[in-house]
Amino acid sequence: MSKKLTEEMVLAALRQVQDPDLQRDIVSLGFVKNVVIGSEGKISFAIELTTPACPLKGQLKAQAEACVRGIAGVKEVDVTMTARIRAAARQAHLPNIKHVVAVASGKGGVGKSTVSANLALSLAKTGAAVGLLDADIYGPSIPNILGIGQPKIAGDNEIFFPVSQYGIKVMSMAFFMPADKAVIWRGPMLDKAVMQFITGVEWGELDYLIMDLPPGTGDVQLSICQKLVLTGAVVVSTPQEVALSVAQRAIFMFQQLQCPILGMIENMSHYICSHCGQREEIFGSGGVREASTMLNIPFLGEIPLNKELRAASDEGKPLVVAAPSSPTALVFMEIAEKMAAQISMRTFVQ
């Protein structure tokens, strides 16, 4: 006669399932919730992950099912995958935002804003609440990439409300200036503008706020790092040696300011000819991966150079929205998942 099934038996079996990133079993991590012992050998429970963008959720679900099915007397296993994003250090200026992530580059022209927009949208597609702040004061391009144009910004008592587009909340300096005008400001005015974006926008509850920073290591970067506790920064570079050397300066700046580096992304890594299928490494290839290894920084992925990505941005409908099943859109999703995993690991270490 078989033993009576108990919650303790289920939890004991699930201790065999390890989270590869956090290096602990899912029971001790507190991921297992709502264990129910049903009739006729049916077991149901939930696994609550640290992010809906977890790249390993399918693997963890399959392992959990297999482990519980191995218990004598179990006939059926029902696993529900959920997620609850844990907050990093509490933000004095942004208390309702769990994670603030800066996307940076050493120099302009490496596709940082395109990467920022597609990463924000990729995170939102997993079910996370996401905001995107275009903090590139001199050259704001996020509204063009997202097809927003020149909206009328709602405000109340100097508090502004972000624009919603494709499921994310967006704010940009471009919303407050004519398209044919340039920003010509010195440091103190830049600092004031950054503070207005930080304290004067009603973002609501967000899991992730992605900040598209200006290129380089100037006043905006310093203001943001000094006034916010960033979860971390992501650095975008092409594989060119000149771009990489400048990107490394941006990395050193963040490290000096005690801001963790979540990873590096290689953009424009290669080009695939649409006629012959030949791979051309126009800017070289693999340089960012090599740099990340040398600097002991996670490598999040490489994004190819293709006309579909460029056209989608020019048309105001980023690739992960316009063609979510395309190979490049799937690369963005994979990079977003890896970035979310890095955030989760750092949150648990804290």
- Consecutive 10-residue runs of the chain (350 residues): their mean pLDDT? 80 94 91 92 94 89 95 93 83 84 85 94 96 86 89 72 94 74 57 76 93 81 82 89 79 90 87 64 72 91 87 92 93 96 80
Q: Are 316 and 225 members of one domain?
A: yes
| Single-letter amino acid code for the residue at 213 | L
Q: For residues 333 and 209, give the distance between their C-alpha atoms in angstroms, rounded to a whole number.
A: 17
- Tally of CB atoms within 10 A around 76: 12
Q: Which of 309, 273, 267 is nearest to 289 (CA)?
A: 267
Residue 118 tokens, joined: 């597609």
Q: Which residue has the tokens 């602990």?
A: 24
pLDDT of residue 281: 62
- The boundaries of the domain holding residue 18 are 7-83
Instruction: Examine residue 163 and state whether it is found in any structural domain, yes or no.
Output: yes
Instruction: Examine residue 91 and state whether it is found in any structural domain, yes or no.
Output: no
Instruction: Examine residue 1 and state whether it is found in any structural domain, yes or no.
Output: no
Q: Are 25 and 143 members of one domain?
A: no
Instruction: Examine residue 180 and state whether it is found in any structural domain, yes or no.
Output: yes
Report the b/e string of 48-72 with b at 16+ CB within 10 A. bbbbbbbbebeebbebbeebbeebe
pLDDT of residue 155: 64
Contact of 94 with 228, CB cutoff 8 Å? yes
Residue 237 tokens, joined: 């570079």
Map residue 199 onto helix, strand or coil.
helix
Q: Are 131 and 71 members of one domain?
A: no
pLDDT of residue 59: 92
Q: For residues 57 and 76, give the distance between their C-alpha atoms in angstroms, rounded to a whole number.
A: 20
DSSP 173: G
pLDDT of residue 289: 85
Map residue 108 onto helix, strand or coil.
coil
What's the CATH code of the domain at 16?
Answer: 3.30.300.130
pLDDT of residue 178: 61
Q: Which residue, 52, 83, 114, sits at the end of a domain?
A: 83
What's the CATH code of the domain at 126?
Answer: 3.40.50.300
Residue 10 tokens, joined: 């289920």
What is the residue-wise DSSP string for 124-168? HHTT--EEEEE--SSS--HHHHHT--SPPPPEETTEE-PEEETTE
Q: Which residue, 83, 113, 142, sits at the end of a domain?
A: 83
What's the domain count of the chain? Answer: 2
